[in-house]
Every structure is written in C-alpha cells, then in structure tokens.
Structure 1
Amino acid sequence: MTITKEEFVKCVDHSLLKPFLTQQEVIDGIAYARELGCASVCLSPHNVRLAQEMLAGTAVKVCTVIGFPSGAHTTFTKVTEAKDAYANGAEELDMVINVGALKAGEYQKVQQEIEAVVQATPAIVKVILEDAYLTKEEIKKGSELVEAAGAAFVKTSTGFAPTGSTVEDLQIMRAAVSDKVKVKAAGGLNSLQDCLDSIAAGAERIGISKTKEILSEF
C-alpha cells in the first residue's frame, strides 16, 4: 500500500513500556514522539504526568496502560488505575482484558469489566485482547464484547506475550466490529512492511517501540 511518512506517523503510538527504561530514556522518547508528531506516546502509569507536561500544547496524546500486562487484576484495580491515569493527564487508556475469563466463556464478566473502565473516565479506551493466548473464535468474540462494552478500540497485544499482532488476527478483529470501533496492532511489528501490512488489514493505530528504525525504511 502507498502511504507517506507523514501519514504513517499519524498512526503511530510510540511505545515506551519496557520496565527497565530510565527516566532519561523516557524523556528522550517523549521528545522524539513530540518532534515526529505521533498519534500518541504510550508509557507506564508513573510517567503519565511527565508526558502530560512535555506534550502540553501539542497534538500528541498521552496514552498509558491499565491492568498491564497480564490483565489479571481486579476490576476495582483497573478502574482505580484508569481514574488515577486520567487525573494525571492520560487521554488514552490501553487496558488488558481478563484473558482467562474470556477463554472460560465468562463473557458477561469480561464485558462488564470493560464497561467499568470505559465509564470511569472520558478517556479513549483501547482494549487489549492478547491474541497470542486466544483461538480465532475467541478473538472474534472478544472483539464483539469490546464493541458491546462501548470501547473505542480493540487491540491485538501487549507486546509482552510469546507472539504479537498478525494480519490474520487483525482481519478477524476488523470483521467482527462495526466502523464505530477502531483496531490497533501492537507486538512483533519489527519492520515497515509489518506495519504497512497491519494498516492494510484494518489497523488505524500501530503500537511500536522501534519507531526510529522503522521510519528509517521510508
């Protein structure tokens, strides 16, 4: 597919989620995302206020993670994380579902938890299914639950599972939801072609940490 570098950057959530990143590395990463004009910078909750201060007055959104990376937190914890993140300046929240509950067929539990996070703040919520652990049918069902719960995005992966986003999974997710719900690809996107294939499969956002290397391929 044909896309300009500028158009591509507007799809990028620049990821700064590795737990070993130093404060200076996070500062440098935020500055890089600001300079590029990425869609957002996605970072750990304790760095949200820093990002909010550095990105004030720009179009780059502050994104953080909820229930990350396992999704095995209580609903109360996820809602509390969401409220705290929003209070500190987060505009977008990437939350991990209770993967085990989805696999067990506890669909009401999964949907209600997503609803609780969506309703906790005005922030945009992107719901991570963690496709690596799911069957194709579970990916489809999880995507449907995300829409039913009122979230803005369904997302493939945390980047901390054995595998990440695949074109096939993205196609399943895109087909399972209406145009009201957007799709985000993340995890295992190591080249420009990986990213372009994801966009062609329906992803409107791309979560990558190797942004500089990937952009060098243009």
Structure 2
Amino acid sequence: MTALTTITVTLPQIAKMIDYSLLHPNLTDEEIRDGLEVAKRFNVATACMKPYSIPLGKKVLAGSDVLISAVVGFPYGINTTKIKVLEAEQAVEDGAREVDMMVNIGKVRSGDFDYVGKEIRAVNEAVVKRGAALNVVLDNDFLSDRDVSRICLICSAARVAFVKTVFFLQPGRSYERQGKMLSRLRLMKATVTDGIRIKVAGGIRSLDELFIAMLTGVSRVGAASTAAILEEATARGIGSIPVKIALPPPADE
C-alpha cells in the first residue's frame, strides 16, 4: 500500500494560492461584483477578470490586499502582438497588477517560436516597465509536451513571473484521471528555470485537487470554485493555525 503524503497548511496560506476566476463570458456586472466580494472576504491572491471589469475590481477591492489580474488576448491568443501590448499597457494603467497573456496557439502549433518569443518578450517588457507581472498562459487542449517545453524555455529566458497552464475540461473528460494534468505540471516544473513560478487553472474544483497541485510545485491556482474550496477547508478544520493534512497519492501513481 502506498503511504499517504502529508502537508501542513493554514487557511490564509490556501487563500493566497488562489486566483479567483471571474472570466465566464456571460457574467453580469452584479455577478462580477458578488465574486469580487467573495475574493475580498477570503483574502485570495488575485481576482482574475476581463479588462473592462478592472474599474469595478478596483472599487470593490479597495482597502484589501487582493490584487487584480487581467487577461490579454483571451482566450486563444489570436490578437496581433501590437494589440496585446496595448491591451497589457491599458490593463496595468487601469489597475491590474498581473497580466495573463494567452500565447498564440496557431503560431505555437506552426512551430514559429521566433514569433512566439518576440511576442512574449514585448508584452513582458511593457508589463514590467509599468510595475506589474506577466503570466504567460498555455492552453493544454491544443499543445503538445514539446510545445509546452519550448514555451517554458522561452519564458525562462524572458524572466516572466509565471507560466500558467489551463485545462478547459470537456464533458466526460477528466485530465486528472488520465494523469495529463499532473504530467504536464511536472514537465513545466522540470523545464522552467529557478524563479519562474507555475500556475494552473481549470480542473481545480476541490481542496484535494489544490493540494495535489501544490505538491507538484504549483505556486498559484486559478479557480472559479474558490468559495467552495475555502469553505471545504474550513469544514475540515483548517484555520489560522497550521494543521497537518494526509493526502492519498495522485491518481496517476
């Protein structure tokens, strides 16, 4: 029998691992406001939102240390580099402290890594110059291990803040059961250089899934199920005092 893995955590530590995702295209202003209040109540790391919502985010999150992250080129990275740079600059000027830029999926799959690298460097320069951090986002539904490795190397050379992988799960599919999420995260962790952190979004819907991501070396998770995850933590007796949690081995082991 495989031994259980233990992890010692607090509720504030878990909360600061979470980017609360407010990106669903049909969210109303009132629903976004409600989500921001949840982010503020739990004191998560960031509220991740569409660029037009940044002013609302600044208003609701005022007085807290919850940062705003905004998406650029979302969701498939198809905008030109010039537009991505302008989007990123505007987002930071409006109040975003982190920028999530989607790589151009078509260019990656075409093997045009010169284009991809120039774009990442251009957006990173624009963001860092304005005092914010860049997250380079990879869509795992479309990219191979080789693609991900190449992008991680490019991001490492550019010294971006985070490389972020997203899993848009389709009905009837579970990347965790298949081991794809874990293997991809391990590949990223093994490829990026020291100081480049890893995020994962999509597919993290429970506290144990967050813990597994943490054990894999992930620094931050994006989750629309933030309230459910943190309420589950509270129900399991996790609070401000560190507690030890026993976890089963990951599904692919």
Deviation at 1:168, TM superposition (A): 1.2
Deviation at 1:153, TM superposition (A): 0.3
How many residues align? The count is 217
Secondary structure of residue in 2 paired with 1:156: strand
Residue 98, structure 1, aligned to residue 108, structure 2 = no
Moved more, 62-71 or 102-111: 102-111
**One-letter amino acid of the counterpart of residue 129, structure 1:** L
Q: 2:161 aligns with which of 152, 159, 163?
A: 152
**One-letter amino acid of the counterpart of residue 155, structure 1:** K
Question: What CA distance in whole angstroms lies between the structure 1 residues aligned with 2:193 and 2:55?
Answer: 34
Question: What CA distance in whole angstroms lies between the structure 2 residues aligned with 1:57 and 1:82?
Answer: 24
In the superposition, the TM-score normalised over structure 2's length comes to 0.82
Query: What does residue 241 of structure 2 align with?
Result: none
Q: 1:4 aligns with which of 5, 10, 19?
A: 10
Q: Which deviations, in whole Å up to 9, do the C-alpha atoms of 1:169-190 show, x marking residues without a partner?
A: 1111111111210000101112
Query: What does residue 132 of structure 1 align with?
Result: 141
Deviation at 1:84, TM superposition (A): 1.1
Q: 1:192 aligns with which of 207, 214, 235?
A: 207
Q: Which deviations, in whole Å up to 9, do the C-alpha atoms of 1:2-41 show, x marking residues without a partner?
A: 3222210011001100011111111111111111110000
Deviation at 1:72, TM superposition (A): 1.1
Contact 1:94-1:125 within 8 A present in 2 as well: yes
Residue 113, structure 1, aligned to residue 122, structure 2 = no
Moved more, 54-63 or 80-89: 54-63
Contact 2:73-2:102 within 8 A present in 1 as well: yes
Question: What CA distance in whole angstroms lies between the structure 2 residues aligned with 1:97 and 1:42?
Answer: 17
Secondary structure of residue in 2 paired with 1:146: helix
Structure whose CA Rg is larger:
2
Q: How well do the aligned residues superpose, as a CA RMSD in angstroms?
A: 1.6
Deviation at 1:111, TM superposition (A): 0.8
Secondary structure of residue in 1 paired with 2:213: helix
Secondary structure of residue in 1 paired with 2:9: coil
Q: 2:191 aligns with which of 170, 173, 176?
A: 176
Secondary structure of residue in 2 paired with 1:19: coil
Query: What does residue 60 of structure 1 align with?
Result: 66
Question: What CA distance in whole angstroms lies between the structure 2 residues aligned with 1:47 and 1:37?
Answer: 19
Judging changes above 3 Å, is the alpha-carbon distance between structure 1 residues 174 and 116 closer, same or farther for their aligned structure 2 residues?
A: same
Runs of 4+ in structure 1 off by over 3 angstroms are: 159-165
Deviation at 1:52, TM superposition (A): 1.4
Question: What CA distance in whole angstroms lies between the structure 2 residues aligned with 1:48 and 1:105?
Answer: 34
Query: What does residue 221 of structure 2 align with?
Result: 206
Query: What does residue 30 of structure 1 align with?
Result: 36
In the superposition, the TM-score normalised over structure 1's length comes to 0.94
Structure 2 unaligned blocks of 5 or more: 1-6, 234-253
Ranked by relative contact order (alpha carbons within 8 Å, sequence separation 6 or more), the top structure is 2
Judging changes above 3 Å, is the alpha-carbon distance between structure 1 residues 161 and 113 closer, same or farther for their aligned structure 2 residues?
A: farther
Contact 2:169-2:203 within 8 A present in 1 as well: no
